[in-house]
Structure 1
């Protein structure tokens, strides 16, 4: 390295001659021999450097022909009358060795004498290589070479108006004359360290600003080496400044494109997506950014296709940075005013990314006054890029630069076009999800029952919260089904999957359960039938979707007369019971398999409920919050119910409070909660009578019925009720098995029930004119509002209902 450094310094002449010995000999010229010859080639004068090179002193060399010092005189020099201008020969050293030298000659002005200069050939080669290297580096536009002396003053440089700060740098200047003081101080510290330690610095990245334009930042790659003389003494520092601003911009563009890919599109919420896009652009691309979207995009609809100015129904969807103070209090959600039909607007509408200045924007927006409304006063450059996806113009990105920042370039316009394309796809995905999400929510809401019901068995309140934050709508549902004899069925279910298919499956299951509930099946039998239905739905689905058809379900039937509740579960979480005294616990049930598994039995659990008890049915979205521990979630729900359920508090208010306290702000799954506060039919409103296995009991049943209805003040129903009781008791005695009972229940309807131990199913038929029987159930159906039959473990019950007119 020392030889190369020495050759570079020698090529720069007096720049490197910064020290000498007491005799005044410059170390940088060591090895360069000089002699004066007469016109015949005889040595007249001999320098000490020539003596050092050849070993011959001045006294020995003077007066001798110079060719006597040449070991192998070339043929072209033998007999020549004058010395050649340059050449290469081998000199004989006094000690006998041979020295390969390169020489040059020049005639002294006004004399016949010749000056001969010679140096070892390898020194000359190093000198030429160093000079060639220096010329090559100096010719590169983005490489600035500066040689600094030991005081770090610039002695020589190739800086031109096309490099550095746009003006030539004169020798004798310092870095502080060119760069901002802070950056000059940093660079000088690096150069001083190189000068003191001799350790080179290679490709050190440094950001600098020119003194005359401090707002613009440039990236330099600095390499610095210490210059030394032949004795190894430092003479200065050679610094190479490579302008890497373009490479830095390219790297930043790649980083920005990668950040857009990583940060934008993670959410399926339109507003969140556009805000992410604006946040990525500031400050990496501009000082301020805004995203304007067509109003229809927020609703999930396709924007209208139109060109030109006017009211484009554009709304400000995102602003960045969030801390910026926008003119006139602009905020997200504001509508843009009508725009002029400007050529630049047309260009953007045709898909071009356009760079505008402030005057262009004024012409588009309608005048300088409106410009002040939308842009800061120091905004000088704008870039507008269309958000095009799948042939739809969703809106526009507007980025502006303020203060003394650089104007936009065409390369940046190309980059913005790529960013806008990626951002538009993310926004359109969110828009399409919004549309499907909205449709699925609407379908889900239509398929759900009324939020609140009020029946003799219980008052109920249901709460449904759809999934958000990119999760698809699920198939969660609840139901409260009024059954005959004042009973009430409570249902909570959760369909596998999300979106429209889950909602459609939920609707089919809900309809099936309502139908089977009207058949008054026991809970375990009903779930078995529903499991068979789910298996049939799975077999009808495409092969790849077989595993996506399934559900869990909890089915409970509460009888306000007996105050008993029968519950069965198909893989569903257990209900929570809150007693009138405020204590709460999860009901211990034996859950069967989910409905996607058929052929497995379900078990019915029966429990007694006091009037005023609250039974809570729910789906797993309510208990799988936070850590996802279901047992912990059930305990949290139980504690929350115990704290929230009060007799004086409305059930719908309680449900909303529970969801607010237990559910994340953006739930990952659907959340369903059904609360039922139980009631009981008072004992004085019910009556029962044991039916003897004797045909004469029919007359006794009519008499007993007449007395009971008279006590209840229902004399207007005596005639029809006696007929209904006669037919039902007659069927129980004739076709049923003992024991048999007659029940009367009074509420807003009068219920007549006859129970016997037979499981045979009665059939309604139309008797012929000549038939002696077969008209009993037909009469019951005609006289009552409705009738039916339900089977239990110990037989069947045939019932009939009649409306009780409320006295005015």
Structure 2
């Protein structure tokens, strides 16, 4: 049974020994019949002899017989497929080979060999025919044995390097292609040998001997070769060069990557660096993106040329005409990448700075000069003026004057690099130049690369120009906003404070977040954080108006909810007068949190208008959130604002922030946002400044989608011995006792130099309270950074400063107080009012 199966397997392969022979005479009539022919077609010899060949085939092929015999006479033989007809009428597909069987001097005879097609793979071919086919094939073909050593290869394989077929015999792939990743290819061969599964379409990218400076791609297919008993003998494989297809795919992938990675922001320098990052290493080994200084400023670049051929223009206009000295043109290195690093890493090298006269670059550091100087007659400057690309397959000695400003590519010892300079042009305006470099060991740039580079740079140029146009508006808004934010927070005794502000990214645009600290009377402070909706210059201007209004209202010493109520009325009235938000009023819908802290007793009062409640870090590090009633945003109307009061221990920290600090800022994500903020606030820090920066860095990316303002205040308490108060009877004689008590306390504080002024202030304020107000009357002195004198009474009317005539007998009390103190005022409390006066400390004890 086993022998029969092996015979069947062998019979499927066309072999002369398996063919059924018969003889024909010159006219195509059967003259000799064999048992194999009888077994194949079923005719006995008696019936077959005498039939012509046309009678042994189907009707469809009978008409071909005369043509076949004619070709035999003309060409000496024929081979092909026929549909024979068995004795029972069934068609039998056969492979037929007809060759001459003439004897010298005898009649013409033809030997016919018939092989049943059945399960056979196809038409039989002689060895010479097979050799012609594989030797003349344009596809590289090779056979290796079980040890992966070459036993045969065709001439086409020699095109890939490694020598002619006879030189490969007995060698392995690593021997004939030492620069190739032979291990990967041989791994595929071993897999085929072990599993018997063919591998088709395996792509390999590398460098072959035939093109050592060029990366090539090949598609290989592997098939195991078995002997007649099914034992593996070796591997037959084919090689097709698909370098052009591989490069086309690389170009498409590069352009796709450029579309996804370039222009993700409206930052000019970042966009230029993105262009450099995309091009290395897929297209070039090093890239430098140099832009006109006017582009970085957001100004309109102007490129021109003087009649004498030199670069011309007016200095200071941002054009390429600005000279760097010695006929050099100064450009700004906005982006760069090289094999050893990028603009932010080691290996980045700026060129000679403008006017420095130095021809060598320096390694990058945080203080490297980003200005590069190109000679006026150099190709980059000609590209800048002419707007056309420049290509040098190998940079020659003529470029020595400007080559030092290019980034290093490595491998310079092997020869000069290949350089391609492409102008950065968008909307008909040249913004700068991009220089691509390849190592001497790489294939130099060609015309196809020029087209690709121009496409790549043009995509980036549009993004750079968009960023340039946006930069001007953003810079103006940022300057305006920063000028409206506090340059420094005032010194005071109530809190130790730190603030951080981070603007939104370029795509979102600058917002209107702000913060403030306002000293109030009685050593108190107001802490304010607010947010104006919208972005850009309008939002920044609206923020400035709102902050000014808050400071004005704070001077009235009103409770937090009343400050917000007045602010709400102001925003609503302004919106009504200007026709609503669509007419340009950005303040409607603004949020504001107003907090007042008193360092004397640690009380804290606050109110919010559409703004997140503050967090409180207790002295033990525990973080809580104030249960603050939320009022409506400013200007939209709604229920009245409410204040909340709490007592804060010394060294507690208030964290006031805008909603940009939180990931979502929405009510549905409030718990998750607060958990993130809690974890950030719980991190220890040696100072409040570091804690403030740490919270921002932990919670906010470098370029947030919304503005972020964070104001952190660590509470202080005034020592009890720096506060003195007295209850006074409603009796004019109490004025003298009040003066004496105040003078004694000043002596305790070593402030006797202030006794005369203080006695005068106490005398006038207490006298007014006794004369015009009602009980209770209290006198309080607070010694902090200033000396504060307060007189509390039960009256509900505020005194007014008068300017009496020389003949008037009274009305000079408050006028005297205003003249001898730094400032004075009135604030109302639930049980009356407080008139206060503040004077600087000049005593030796301070």
Q: Give the TM-score normalised by structure 2.
A: 0.68
Residue aligned with 2:453, SS: helix
Residue of structure 1 in register with 2:596 after alignment? 556
Residue of structure 2 in register with 1:630 after alignment? 674
Q: Whole-Å Cα distance in 2 between the matches of residues 368 and 720 of structure 1? A: 78
Q: Whole-Å Cα distance in 2 between the matches of residues 533 and 142 of structure 1? A: 89
Conserved 8 A contact 1:107-1:115: yes
Residue of structure 2 in register with 1:14 after alignment? none
Q: Whole-Å Cα distance in 2 between the matches of residues 749 and 190 of structure 1? A: 86
Conserved 8 A contact 2:97-2:113: yes
Higher mean displacement: 654-663 or 748-757: 748-757
Residue of structure 2 in register with 1:465 after alignment? 501
Measured on the aligned residues, the alpha-carbon RMSD in Å equals 6.1
Residue of structure 1 in register with 2:751 after alignment? none
- Residues 1:359 and 2:395 aligned together: yes
Residue aligned with 1:691, SS: coil
Q: Whole-Å Cα distance in 2 between the matches of residues 638 and 593 of structure 1? A: 28
Q: Whole-Å Cα distance in 2 between the matches of residues 221 and 676 of structure 1? A: 73
Residue aligned with 1:505, SS: helix
User: Where does structure 2 lack aligned partners over 5 or more consecutive residues?
Assistant: 1-9, 306-310, 312-326, 350-360, 665-670, 747-753
Conserved 8 A contact 1:724-1:780: no
Q: Whole-Å Cα distance in 1 between the matches of residues 529 and 589 of structure 2? A: 17
Residue of structure 2 in register with 1:320 after alignment? 338
Residue aligned with 1:363, SS: helix
Conserved 8 A contact 1:614-1:678: no
Q: Whole-Å Cα distance in 2 between the matches of residues 759 and 107 of structure 1? A: 140
Q: State the 1:577 CA deviation.
A: 7.1
Q: State the 1:553 CA deviation.
A: 0.7
- Residues 1:144 and 2:139 aligned together: yes
> For 1:116, which of 105, 110, 118 is the aligned residue?
110
Q: Whole-Å Cα distance in 1 between the matches of residues 533 and 34 of structure 2? A: 103
Residue of structure 2 in register with 1:592 after alignment? 630
Structure index of larger Rg: 1
Q: Whole-Å Cα distance in 2 between the matches of residues 60 and 189 of structure 1? A: 60
1:29/1:282 Cα in 2 relative to 1: closer, same or farther (>3 Å)?
farther
Q: Whole-Å Cα distance in 2 between the matches of residues 94 and 485 of structure 1? A: 127
Q: Whole-Å Cα distance in 2 between the matches of residues 751 and 370 of structure 1? A: 65
1:95/1:189 Cα in 2 relative to 1: closer, same or farther (>3 Å)?
farther
Residue of structure 2 in register with 1:13 after alignment? none
Q: Whole-Å Cα distance in 2 between the matches of residues 474 and 59 of structure 1? A: 107
Conserved 8 A contact 2:287-2:407: no
Q: State the 1:99 CA deviation.
A: 8.7
Q: Whole-Å Cα distance in 2 between the matches of residues 807 and 427 of structure 1? A: 62
Residue aligned with 2:443, SS: coil
Provide Cα deviations, 1:388-441, integer angstroms capped at 9, x if missing partner. Answer: 345554443333222432222333332222222333344455556665555444
Q: State the 1:297 CA deviation.
A: 5.1
Residue of structure 2 in register with 1:658 after alignment? 691
Q: Whole-Å Cα distance in 2 between the matches of residues 797 and 141 of structure 1? A: 110
Conserved 8 A contact 1:572-1:594: no
Residue aligned with 1:407, SS: coil
Provide Cα deviations, 1:228-277, integer angstroms capped at 9, x if missing partner. Answer: 99999999987654332222112222222223333344455555544443
Provide Cα deviations, 1:444-487, integer angstroms capped at 9, x if missing partner. Answer: 332233524234x5465443332476675554433332334555
Conserved 8 A contact 1:105-1:114: no
Q: State the 1:797 CA deviation.
A: 4.2
What pairs up with 1:714-725 in 2 under 5 angstroms? 714-715=755-756
Residue of structure 1 in register with 2:261 after alignment? 263
Conserved 8 A contact 1:475-1:494: yes
Q: Whole-Å Cα distance in 2 between the matches of residues 202 and 520 of structure 1? A: 85
Higher mean displacement: 549-558 or 755-764: 755-764
Residue of structure 2 in register with 1:219 after alignment? 217
1:741/1:550 Cα in 2 relative to 1: closer, same or farther (>3 Å)?
same
What pairs up with 1:127-526 in 2 under 5 angstroms? 144=139, 146=141, 159=156, 164=160, 180=177, 201-207=199-205, 209-223=207-221, 240-266=238-264, 270-295=268-293, 305=303, 308=311, 310-315=328-333, 317-322=335-340, 330-331=363-364, 333-334=368-369, 335-342=371-378, 345-347=381-383, 349-359=385-395, 362-366=397-401, 376-377=411-412, 378=414, 379-428=416-465, 438-455=475-492, 457-458=493-494, 461-467=497-503, 473-484=510-521, 487-496=524-533, 499-526=536-563
Higher mean displacement: 526-535 or 626-635: 626-635
1:222/1:47 Cα in 2 relative to 1: closer, same or farther (>3 Å)?
farther
Conserved 8 A contact 1:729-1:754: no
Q: Whole-Å Cα distance in 1 between the matches of residues 411 and 277 of structure 2? A: 18
User: Where does structure 1 lack aligned partners over 5 or more consecutive residues?
Assistant: 1-18, 645-653, 733-737
Q: Give the TM-score normalised by structure 1.
A: 0.70
